[in-house]
Amino acid sequence: MKENKHVISAVQPGSIAEELELEPGDILLTINDQIVEDVFDYRYLMNDEYIVLQVKKQDGEIWELEVEKDYEDDLGITFENEFMDQYRSCSNRCIFCFIDQMPPGMRETLYFKDDDSRLSFLQGNYVTLTNMSEHDIERVINYHLEPINISFQAMNPKLRCEMLHNRFAGDALKKVDRLYEAGITMNGQIVLCKGINDGAELEYSLEQLSHYAPLLQSVSVVPVGLTKFRDGLFPLEEFQREDAIRVLEQIHRWQEKMMALHGIHFIHASDEWYILAGEELPQEDSYDGYIQLENGVGMLRLLETEVLEELENREGDDRAITGTVATGKLAAPFIKKNMELIREKYPNVHIEVVTITNEFFGEKITVSGLITGADLIAQLKDRPLGDKLLLPCNMLRSGESVFLDDISIEDVKKALGTEIVVVETEGADLVKAVLESSDNRILRRRQMYEQSNSSNCGPS
């Protein structure tokens, strides 16, 4: 195990660290005589009421500090490397990898492929387990870190090796047994590729995964995303309506079986399958508490539920508002339905929903999170937008007002000459964004395709 250098970059005013006279530039050496490998070690060791710190001051002097505090209280320090270690890049060459389908000339971080199990706990990323050593597995078990989110793709070891282009990908599935035996809760994901891991292979995967329930709480099945930048890549096909119908029949049959066995639906189809099949979205109780929301499972159903809940608490009035919502093809009909719900209580509120075609990545990409600033400007510049333009927050880079193509919110605002309101994921925020002032709104985006900072993300 390598020893990392944990240099303090900031000390919070009024914190324990300030009382200890810690300063930027000081180096944390050990906690309770244990070398801190990364942020997991730090957080785990800090969850004691009595700790002993060893710190190297800037003048080279070594301080040993005894600290009595409340359980889980933090010292109030930030490190220069907030992850307290380097990111682990992916060792696979998956046939469905989205990053391989990116155009050239974008910012460097967009091409970084991570497969770091620590990000599974810190940010909810899904990992293939191929990067996890015996030491990593032992730490997850010893610290009882859970849930861990796993990209299974296929439970046929040979097929998994082929899909991930990694000869160790099949053996990596044995690590699931270790986690299961240790009582670690898990969530799973299958990226479905037509003619590869669907049909009989999907049936086999669902059967094998069902044996891990209920510690394996859920498995989402999502269709592969295909951009127009696939020259030289594995020839993957787009799913059609009849394919989606078959996938849903398969998943619904397994849901009935798992409900009878464990009282959970367990296998979940992402919203895209229902839209492609032309079927109604399931009711709210089908989502087991929206445990797979970040994979697009139930996102549109939850949005409508939250919009209705917010509207129930409002009287309605005759305020006059005009505006536009720009979104992807996938969500557009559902956003339009929610605008109609708002208008039932506010008849003078007129919000047009505009579907943005993804020219940048290709028309097969229909999610709003991959719409670029350039496509927004090109497709909205000649339209009357009303009082304001509403954009979903997942179009923006995490923590910034920048789209995937590095065009900023301010650039789009200037080009279109209208106020822009960034809408959070909750239905209540959509209602407020339509009806209320947009002053002091906070922007955020869940990281999906890009390496990002992973410190200070809350309890692991």
Structure-model confidence comparison of residues 65 and 444, the more confident one: 65
Q: In the predicted model, is pLDDT for residue 441 greater than 50?
A: no
Query: What is the average per-residue pLDDT within 321-336?
Result: 95
Q: Is 145 in contact with 121 (CB distance < 8 Å)?
A: yes
DSSP-based three-state secondary structure for 435: helix
Nearest CA to 228 among 243, 220, 218, 238? 238
**Residue 447: per-residue pLDDT:** 37
Compute the distance between CA of residue 202 and CA of residue 221 in angstroms, rounded to an integer.
9
Q: How far is the C-alpha of 265 from the C-alpha of 220, rounded, in Å?
A: 11
Out of 6-10, 141-145, 322-326, pick the least confident.
141-145
**457: pLDDT strictly greater than 80:** no
Give DSSP secondary structure letters for 242-290: HHHHHHHHHHHHHHHHHHHHHSS--EEE-HHHHHHHT-PPPPGGGGTTT
Among 117, 107, 125, residue whose Cα is nearest residue 85: 117
Q: Is 305 helix (H, G, I), strand (E, B) or coil?
A: helix
Instruction: With a cut of 90, say whether residue 236 has pLDDT above it.
Output: yes
Answer for the pair 304, 338: CB distance below 8 angstroms, yes or no: yes
Place 90 in a pLDDT band, splitting at 50, 70 and 90. confident
Report pLDDT for 249. Answer: 98
Lowest mean pLDDT among 96-100, 178-182, 213-217: 96-100
pLDDT band per the 50, 70, 90 thresholds, residue 36: confident
Helix axis angle for 427-435 and 299-312, nearest 10°, is 50
**Looking at 82-91, 288-297, 351-360, 361-370, which range is the least confident one?**
82-91
How much is the pLDDT for 455?
Answer: 26
Helix (H, G, I), strand (E, B) or coil at 141: helix
Q: Looking at 287-412, which runs of residues are DSSP E strands?
A: 321-327, 349-355, 388-392
Specify the pLDDT at position 111.
60
User: In terms of pLDDT, which residue wins out, 3 or 40?
Assistant: 40
What pLDDT is attached to residue 238? 94
Report how far residue 196's alpha carbon sits from residue 233's, in angstroms, rounded to the nearest whole number.
15
Confidence of residue 454 (pLDDT cuts 50, 70, 90): very low
* Number of Cβ within a 10 Å radius of residue 227: 19
Tell whether the model's pLDDT for residue 453 goes beyond 50.
no
29-38, 237-246, 271-280, 330-339: segment of lowest average pLDDT:
29-38
Asked whether residue 456 carries a pLDDT value surpassing 60, the answer given is no
Q: Is the pLDDT of residue 118 over 80?
A: no
Question: pLDDT category, 251, cuts 50, 70, 90?
Answer: very high
* pLDDT interval class at 35 (50, 70, 90): confident
Confidence category of residue 87, pLDDT binned at 50, 70, 90: low
d(CA 405, CA 373): 7
Tell me the average pLDDT across 32-38: 87
Give the long-range contacts of residues 412-415, CB within 8 A, separation 24 or more. 412/373, 412/376, 412/377, 415/377, 415/381
- Round the average pLDDT of the chain to a whole number and report it: 88
- Res 164 pLDDT > 50: yes
Q: 105: pLDDT confidence band, cut at 50, 70 and 90?
A: confident
- pLDDT the model gives residue 399: 66
Give the model's confidence band at 106: pLDDT under 50 very low, under 70 low, under 90 confident, else very high. Answer: confident
Mean pLDDT, residues 172-185 taken together: 96
Least confidently predicted of 130-134, 274-278, 412-416, 418-422? 130-134
Instruction: Kindly tell me if the per-residue pLDDT of 97 is higher than 90.
Output: no
Q: Which domains does the chain have, with CATH numbers?
A: 6-79 (2.30.42.10), 99-297 (3.80.30), 303-435 (3.40.50)
Residue 194's SS3 state is coil
Residue 177: burial class (beta carbons within 10 Å; 0-12, 13-18, 19+): exposed
For residue 109, is pLDDT > 90? no
Question: Could you tell me the pLDDT band of residue 414, with boundaries at 50, 70 and 90?
Answer: very high
